[in-house]
Chains A and B, each alone.
Chain A
Amino acid sequence: MLTLLILIPLAGSLVAAWLPRAWAVGFALATWFESLWVLQQFDLHTPGLQLLEYQPWLPQLGLNYSLGVDGLSLPLVLLTSTITLLVLWGAPLSIPPERRQLFNSLVLLATSGVMASLVAQNLLMFLLFYELELIPFYLLIAVWGGQRREYAAMKFLIYTAVSGILILGGFLALGGLSGSLNFDYAQIHPEHLSQRTQLLILTLLLVGFAIKIPLVPFHTWLPDAYVEAPAPVAILLGGVLAKLGTYGLVRFGLGLFPDTWHLISPGLAAVASLTIIFGALAAIAQKDIKRMVAYSSVGHMGYVLLGVAASTPLALVGAVAQMVSHGLVLAFLFYLVGVIEVKVGTRELDVLNGLLNPLRGLPLTSAMLIAGGMASAGIPGLVGFIPEFLIFQGSFSAFPIPTLLAVLGTGLTAVYFVILLNRTCFGKLDNHTSYYPAVTWQEHAPALVLTGLILWFGIQPSWLVSWSESTTAALIAAINL
């Protein structure tokens, strides 16, 4: 039952604040098993919502406890539960023992909120949990962040609060103008609104979610938040929270405004290609490997937008797969960057060198970093390839020039990862400074699991595709009606 996806981490957040870490990991593991149970119960061939649950909550406000899962939310539920588990498992590397229980508690609280947003079938319920995220994430950055953590946390809070206000405005307009009795997705019928009204509401939602994703030019909170946040929080921000933005874009933009979508999609494709190219060029210019990965994230979210904008069956399946792929690869890269930062004591590209050294370097971490760079650059055989390929294949007929620019962006991705890997992993260690502690197997474990997933979905991408294929096909069919 979907409620457990929300309740288990929520209960865990209460318990983990007082009990040892093993409890937090236990609750994350239970959440993960629950998400697998959902997958097992889910009929891949049914495009609509499944495993529905409904309880009136505040009917006077149109707020109902309405849950359901489809091919759009299922992959993200699986991604969220997996990443939460790995974050809590690997947290001791970056999070000092003091107040670690509070950290674990906040991570589980954030997970509960994300899960609720993903399975919510009521606009207000979605927004309630979407906004609830801000509290744990603000604290996670402000308490455990780097030197400029207060600035980064406040910037994150302001941006995402603005995002929430815009979305709230859009939802209220949607509910009020469409004459619905409540805010359940099934009751919202904006197709009766004028195109101008639809465009206005859609714009509010788009900007709101564009901040969350984020897309250029709403991205400026991201580098500060990702870089100042400790590695586990950066993983959650990029791997989980950013996905709420892309999810909202598809669910509420494409899903509720199929007619108007055509009007704005060329502009979205242009923004997508701009985001891809900007993200890549900004990453090339960085001297801090964490900031480089953060800008890489900006660029890669552009691929999702391109696929959603194109709205062809292939492109949309690719966009959903890209959300999962991006979540896994970004989590992988941030985790490895975190390992390097903890062991070497720096993230500076000009200082790092020779980490592949088998005796005194971080050889396995470096080897996995190479694999992560390859996955991010879309090398065949790894998880990044098929989603990007599907997006390019599906988008080219609709938007050839933005698609070609996106392909160019993939080439630029390879450029900055070659720079990163060449400077960080290759060359030789410095005789004077290289007394780094070894990375233990316990510390390697989360990255090894992610390596397995990245390889598995690289050679068996049909899993990724099949989860969302029916749902995305139904969405596209609705557009073409």
Chain B
Amino acid sequence: MANIIELRNLTYSYPGAQAPTLKDISVDIEQGDFLAIVGNNGCGKSTFCKTLNGLIPHFITGEFSGSVRACGLNTLESDIGTLAQKVGYVYQDFENQIVRPTVLDDASYACLNYALPNYLDRGRKALEQCGLQGKEQDFIWQLSGGQTHLLALAGAVSLEPEVLILDEPIAQLDPMHADKIYGVLRELNEKHGKTIIVIEHHTEYIADYCKHVMLLKDGQVQWTLPTRQALCRVEELQSCNIFPPQVTMAAHRLQRSGALSPTAPLPTTVEEGKAVFAAKPEPVPFPFVPAPCMGGPAVEFSHVEVSYRTVKGAPHQVYRDLNLTIHKGDKIALIGSNGAGKSTLMKLMVGLLKPSQGDIRLNGRSIRSVKAEALSRQVSMVYQNPEDMFIKDSIGKDIAYAMEVRGLADTQQRTQALLKRFHLEALKDRDGRLLSGGQMRRASLAIGIALNPEILLLDEPTANLDIATRKEIMRTLDDVKATTETVVIATHDMQLVCEWAQRIIVLCQGQVVADGPRDQVFGNHKVVQQVGIRPPEIFSMGQALAPHALCYTIDEFLEHFTGRSDTCACGGKAV
């Protein structure tokens, strides 16, 4: 097939940068491809994509040499307007790319600006393609996170570009919306022949949807390979901090231990895994995990009712008759789709929201008439958006702030200790906003536990992080788990849930639909279906092989499963 994008000897450095971000890249992308770009943090993925639609070098200047041809146009010779109609771009930061107040308005805005007479029809068509029909007249603040993301996509689709580039399209979405986005992309790719390029960390999604994978390393393209081949290069990917699908990693480990033929193709999806794995001949019983013994009640919700004001019409009711007890020493993961009321529950606990009905008791005392300020020694909350936690001009001062204003004697030492514990000593004079994603999270956690609260609430601590940084935050969370008595995490990250939480609370439309240890929640097919939970892939793999299997990590999986005898090196069909 013809190439839709051709790069020749592209080298680019940002203004004032010491070294080039992209180094001598020559690569072609075929028309109709569904390409995933993977690579370490800061390897130049976003920069690479911005050269394709002319933002570099027309809008963001810098040293540019070599040539980029997109849809037959040389990006140096065309202006951004012409290129933007051929190459669509969807940013990771989806909220800030919506510029108009209503849905249809935003979807058709670009078409209007380029003076396309049928701009409204195009907007409507794009909304339909993205599954937002019926929402045309809605205001953008009525949309959920997932829908806003779809709208951002529709805004790009409406111009009917040949190529569509998406920067981390699912980083902030629950699995249901993530599948939806990729479903839309697949349709655009297969039915409408669009070339799709995604920057993606989630290799399970790459395995399910993408045709090719391109690995970028230090500003250079290492290779472009068909997805299967690419994902089987387990060691190379891991050295770039990319984690292949868990199924692939499990098979790779079996291969290395000799339980699987070294030449057998590695599976990349659960479906392929069925042909590779089998239960061990002598089944190992699944250990019975006793429910952790519970302390006294820390927070009790009784008959709580909460609703929000809305711009129009009746208030939106989040909770009706909510009853829930959080015990001392609980390590809870709060899960549920976007908009299920996770953040609301946390705001209730810190006293930022007051229930319209019912009562909340903290250590047996009602907090109905207690101000949020008075609760902050006992309950602390870390927001999803770490920027909002930074109120001083350096993170050192930010960590010290709460202790300082309370006149605690050991503020200095404690700040030092916290900086050390979260590996922030070298950064203590920097403004929090200018740190990298992982550093910002660590800083916000340090701020959150500065007052040594009994209860710590964390809203999506791993959202928007690449896998390597996520692992780092997971380690930090384990550390927090050991020192803070009661911790509640609201999250979509099922690996975090499985590896960290002792108790899982599932929220769905303002109701607690499941509550218990992980076996009880993930083993309950009805709940998993109803709420749209996507368990870790290795768990699904185990379930596909044996319905009673409950394994959450690769280690657990390998205790119970091995290579099938017909693919096993030591079996009958040795190669």
Q: Do A and B bind each other?
A: no
